[in-house]
Amino acid sequence: MRFVRTLIHSARIWCRKHLPETALDALRALSRCRHSRSKALNRKNSPLLKLGDLAADLRSAGFRAGDVIMVHSSLSSIGRVEGCAATVIASLIELLTDEGTLIMPCYNSAGSFLRNLKHGKMLDLRTSPSATGKITEVFRAHPGVLRSSHPFSSSCAIGKHAEYATNGHEMAPEVCHADSPVGRLVELKGKVVGIGISIAQGLGVAHYMEDTWEGFPFEVHTPKFPVKYINSSGEMVERDVCRFDPGIARTRIDYPEGAWICEKLAYHLARKGILERFKFGDAESWVMQADVLYEELKRLAAKHVTMYLTEDKLTDENRDTESW
Q: Where are the beta strands (DSSP E) in the chain?
A: 48-49, 68-73, 80-81, 101-105, 146-147, 155-159, 191-195, 225-230, 236-241, 276-280, 283-289
Looking at residue 250, its pLDDT comes to 87
How far apart, in whole angstroms, are the C-alpha atoms of residue 70 and residue 144? 17
Which comes out higher in pLDDT, residue 38 or 236?
Answer: 236
pLDDT of 1 higher than 60: no
pLDDT of 4 higher than 60: no
Q: Phi and psi for 56 in degrees, rounded to 5?
A: -65, -40
Looking at residue 30, its pLDDT comes to 73
pLDDT in tens, 111-126: 999 999 999 999 999 9
pLDDT of 22 higher than 80: no
CB 315, CB 217: distance < 8 Å: no
Query: Residues of the chain with pLDDT > 90: what percent?
Result: 77
Rounded average pLDDT over 39-49: 69
pLDDT of 43 higher than 60: no
pLDDT of 37 higher than 70: no
Looking at residue 316, its pLDDT comes to 74
pLDDT of 179 higher than 90: yes
Count CB-CB contacts under 10 A for residue 245: 14
179 burial (CB, 10 Å; 0-12 / 13-18 / 19+) is middle
CB 219, CB 234: distance < 8 Å: no
For residue 2, give the amino acid letter: R
pLDDT in tens, 249-283: 888 999 888 888 999 999 999 999 999 999 999 99
How far apart, in whole angstroms, are the C-alpha atoms of residue 84 and residue 213? 40
Which comes out higher in pLDDT, residue 303 or 12?
Answer: 303
pLDDT of 31 higher than 90: no
* Terminal Cα distance for the chain, rounded: 32
pLDDT in tens, 204-242: 999 999 999 999 999 999 999 999 999 999 999 999 999
pLDDT in tens, 46-87: 799 999 999 999 999 999 999 999 999 999 999 999 999 999
Which comes out higher in pLDDT, residue 25 or 198?
Answer: 198
Looking at residue 5, its pLDDT comes to 45
Looking at residue 6, its pLDDT comes to 47
CB 175, CB 244: distance < 8 Å: yes
Looking at residue 2, its pLDDT comes to 46
pLDDT-based confidence at 131, cuts 50/70/90? very high
